[in-house]
């Protein structure tokens, strides 16, 4: 097996968060689900975007956020995801490349536009989110850079993107390519509603030995296994996966690998500002240790530290140098 060029290559949604302050009456006027997250179509996304005041644009997307954390930790990374040939597509491409991540997926011509999450922030700091998946749902198998997949130690897949048919086919092909090259496949379940829709697929991938590292939170573990008790869920999966990582929010995280079990507490945070991206950054911290062959507990600790950094500020990507932060704590 050749020496890998990348530590991690990821496939996921390419989304830009568009964040604007607004008064409370605009939430009512637009009929928004105050404080919640709603999926919207092209027409509604355009209507909401036009109604926004001056906005900040920050690239997001679960797997892309994880890569941003990994890059901050010194990992060599690449991303495969679909944007449109438009302004937000250029924003996403610029941001991910500026983080030191290779991104070569060709922009898609025509409709729909690049995926975006339109976020209205009221004076009390509450965020009302409206997500339009846009072009990210149309990632074709032809967009895969198979040579890059073969040259990455780990292929990381985002469960959110399993929902649309076209990228689901692309990810199945990517798994085949990675395993054919003797590489590892990591998978994040993303959200319980995704498991509700595609749990049979995910369980089949696990049974067939197609997943080497699985990331779930407590709720996703229950949905995937049908076990309401956390330990029963762990028991149902622990012998079917080389590495299982289950996060429990403020109650820390557990990992199992090769008969070994490790646990860590959540890192203390002076004030939790925004939990968006916590799971993404936990995966980043864990994988940054795993690719270097670090002990299981140390990988978990790296994950906990990365998650603690991101929930202390707005936005899903690190704002401090994670490598320096972790070096000061455990390295």
Virtual torsion, Cα 76, 287, 174, 183, nearest 10 deg: 90
Task: Enter the tokens of residue 309.
Answer: 């950094």
Residue 102: closest CA among 167, 161, 171, 148? 148
Give residue-wise pLDDT tens across range 244-256: 999 998 899 999 9
Q: Are 184 and 213 in contact (CB under 8 A)?
A: yes
Burial string for 111-138 (b: 16+ CB within 10 Å, else e) reads: ebbbbbbbbbbbeeeebbbbbbbbbbbb
Q: How far apart are alpha carbons 131 and 12 in whole angstroms?
A: 15
Report the alpha-carbon distance of residue 174 to residue 217 in Å, rounded. Answer: 24
In the predicted structure, residue 56 carries a pLDDT above the cut 90: no
- Strand duo 115-121 + 102-103: pairing: unpaired
Q: What is the pTM of this model?
A: 0.90
- pLDDT attached to residue 331: 58
CA atoms within 13 A on the CB side of 84: 19
- Nearest by Cα to 9 from 53, 75, 57: 75
Q: To which CATH superfamily is domain 6-14+61-112+136-328 assigned?
A: Ribokinase (3.40.1190.20)
Higher-scoring residue by pLDDT: 194, 2: 194
Mean pLDDT of the chain: 91
* Residue carrying structure tokens 């536009």: 113
Q: Is the pLDDT of residue 229 over 70?
A: yes
Q: Which tokens go with 197? A: 């829709």
Q: Give the C-alpha separation, 271 to 302, whole Å.
A: 20
Which residue is listed with tokens 């830009």? Answer: 16
Both structure tokens of 102: 């290779």
**3-state DSSP assignment of residue 82:** coil
pLDDT at 1 (0 to 100): 64
The conformation of residue 73, written as its DSSP 8-state character, comes to T
Return the percentage of the chain with pLDDT > 70, whole number.
99
pLDDT score of 327 more than 90: no
Q: Which of 279, 282, 283, 277 is nearest to 313 (CA)?
A: 277
């Amino acid at each position: 097996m050749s020496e890998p060029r990348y530590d991690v290559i990821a496939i996921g949604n390419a989304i830009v968060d568009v964040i604007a302050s607004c008064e409370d009456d605009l939430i009512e006027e637009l009929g928004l689900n105050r404080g919640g997250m709603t999926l919207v179509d092209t027409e509604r996304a355009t209507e909401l975007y036009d109604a926004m005041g001056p906005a900040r644009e920050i690239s997001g997307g679960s797997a892309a956020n994880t890569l941003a954390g990994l890059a901050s930790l010194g990992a060599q990374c690449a991303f495969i995801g679909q944007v449109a040939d438009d302004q937000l597509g250029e924003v996403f491409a610029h941001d991910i490349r500026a983080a030191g991540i290779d991104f070569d997926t060709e922009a898609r011509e025509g409709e729909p536009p690049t995926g975006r999450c339109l976020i209205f922030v009221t004076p009390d700091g509450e965020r009302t989110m409206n997500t339009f998946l846009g072009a990210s749902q149309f990632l074709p198998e032809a967009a895969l850079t198979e040579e890059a997949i073969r040259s990455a130690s780990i292929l990381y897949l985002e469960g959110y993107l399993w929902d649309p048919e076209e990228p689901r086919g692309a990810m199945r092909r990517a798994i085949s390519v990675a395993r054919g090259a003797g590489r590892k496949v990591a998978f994040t379940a993303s959200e319980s509603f995704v498991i509700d829709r595609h749990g049979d697929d995910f369980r089949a991938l696990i049974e067939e030995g197609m997943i080497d590292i699985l990331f779930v939170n407590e709720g996703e573990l229950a949905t995937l296994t049908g076990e309401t008790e956390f330990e029963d869920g762990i028991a149902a999966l622990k012998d079917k996966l080389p590495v299982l990582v289950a996060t429990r929010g403020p109650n820390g995280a557990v990992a199992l690998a090769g008969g070994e079990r490790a646990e860590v507490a959540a890192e203390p945070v002076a004030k939790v500002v925004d939990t968006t991206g916590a799971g993404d950054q936990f995966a980043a911290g864990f994988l940054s240790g795993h690719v270097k062959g670090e002990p299981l507990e140390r990988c978990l600790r790296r994950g906990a530290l990365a998650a603690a950094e991101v929930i202390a500020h707005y936005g899903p990507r690190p704002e401090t140098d994670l490598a320096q932060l972790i070096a000061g704590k455990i390295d």
